[in-house]
Amino acid sequence: MGNRVQGKVAIITGGASGIGRACAHRLAEEGAVVVVTDIQDEAGATVAAEIHAAGGSAEYLHHDVTSEDEWVSVAAAVSASHGGLDVLVNNAGIGLGASILEMTLADWQRQQAINLDGVFLGLKHCIPLMRDSGGGSIINMSSIAGLKGNARLAAYNATKGGVRLLTKGVALECAQNRWKVRVNSVHPGIIETPIWKTVMPESLTSDGQPLVLDEMASVAVPTGELGQPTDIANGVLFLASDDSSYMTGSELVIDAGVSA
Ligand SMILES: NC(=O)c1ccc[n+]([C@@H]2O[C@H](COP(=O)([O-])OP(=O)(O)OC[C@H]3O[C@@H](n4cnc5c(N)ncnc54)[C@H](O)[C@@H]3O)[C@@H](O)[C@H]2O)c1
């Protein structure tokens, strides 16, 4: 256990799985009081229990990031229990791979609602809490798909590009108002999590077998390595900590060179 975010209160959305789960563990290991939120209640409660078992501090709250009412409830619960908020990791997201000609409007809107509306609502309802408790750090999970386009991922590109510039605009508003709230985006590359089941559902290798993620990484990633959720959590920890106190409106790319 370290103390890089000792005593900071942190909300992590989509904390039941993958990158969010790793962020919850990493921040708790470094002393944060972690509030894991998700719609997967059993898995989310398990993450909080794992953190407790390891000697950390965590709780789980049910929270659909597309619901403004639920954001209001989560912010109120954190304010009542902890008296303020220091860190928000807007991580919840889905990835729907499909031709733009085949994607339904319902899927387009669902992905926008989770990946972009969810971040907007988090900013809207958590910045006042942070501002009024002395400032804080918001980390918005974008992607390298928010930096450049991909065929059959255009709708996902649109959400993650939106997160990138939403981050910068809000960072400047916070700065201009001297709210002491920093806002940065993180851009993961190819990270081993369940999201890939829907990002590339139709992918087959040349012999007709389902695409294996580490084989894809061996071709697409300059170092040949598939990323792990902890690789992203380490960057999130840095942005959450005071080590990054002069950073706002920045993009932290963690992709082993894919976008280089
Ligand atoms: N894995 C990658 O390679 C990769 C790369 C770039 C960016 N990302 C981004 O990282 C973030 C985390 O993804 P992951 O790879 O860990 O995937 P994941 O599927 O393991 O985790 C996503 C989590 O978000 C939750 N979620 C989905 N809809 C929700 C909603 N409406 N409200 C609250 N929670 C909801 C899911 O239940 C799940 O626990 C996403 O924003 C994703 O776009 C992932």
Per-position pLDDT tens, the chain of length 260: 899 999 999 999 999 999 999 999 999 999 999 999 999 999 999 999 999 999 999 999 999 999 999 999 999 999 999 999 999 999 999 999 999 999 999 999 999 999 999 999 999 999 999 999 999 999 999 999 999 999 999 999 999 999 999 999 999 999 999 999 999 999 999 999 999 989 987 665 556 666 789 999 999 999 999 999 999 999 999 999 999 999 999 999 999 999 99
Domain layout of the chain by residue ranges: 9-192+228-254
| Whether residue 60 lies in the annotated active site | no
- The pLDDT value recorded for residue 200 is 82
Q: Taking a C-beta distance cutoff of 8 angstroms, is the pair 240, 204 a contact?
A: no
Kindly give the distance from the C-alpha atom of residue 204 to the centroid of ligand 1, in angstroms, as a whole number. Answer: 23
- In ligand 1, the atom with minimum distance to the C-alpha of 66 is 31
- Which of 109, 115, 193, 228 should be mutated for ligand 1, with most atoms under 8 A from CB? 193
Which atom of ligand 1 is nearest the CA belonging to 192?
1
Assign domain 9-192+228-254 to its CATH superfamily.
NAD(P)-binding Rossmann-like Domain (3.40.50.720)
What's the pLDDT at 201? 73
> Ligand 1: does its nearest atom lie under 6 Å from the Cβ of 44?
no
| Amino acid 124: pLDDT | 98
Beta carbon of 161 within 6 Å of any ligand 1 atom: no
Catalytic site residue from 60, 156, 196, 238: 156
Element (H, E) at 90: strand 87-90
Gap from CA of 200 to ligand 1 centroid (Å)? 14
Q: For ligand 1, atom 7, which residue shows the shortest CA distance?
A: 143
Residue with token string 């499909």:
98
Q: What is the DSSP string of 4-73?
A: TTTT-EEEEETTTSHHHHHHHHHHHHTT-EEEEEES-HHHHHHHHHHHHHTT-EEEEEE--TT-HHHHHH
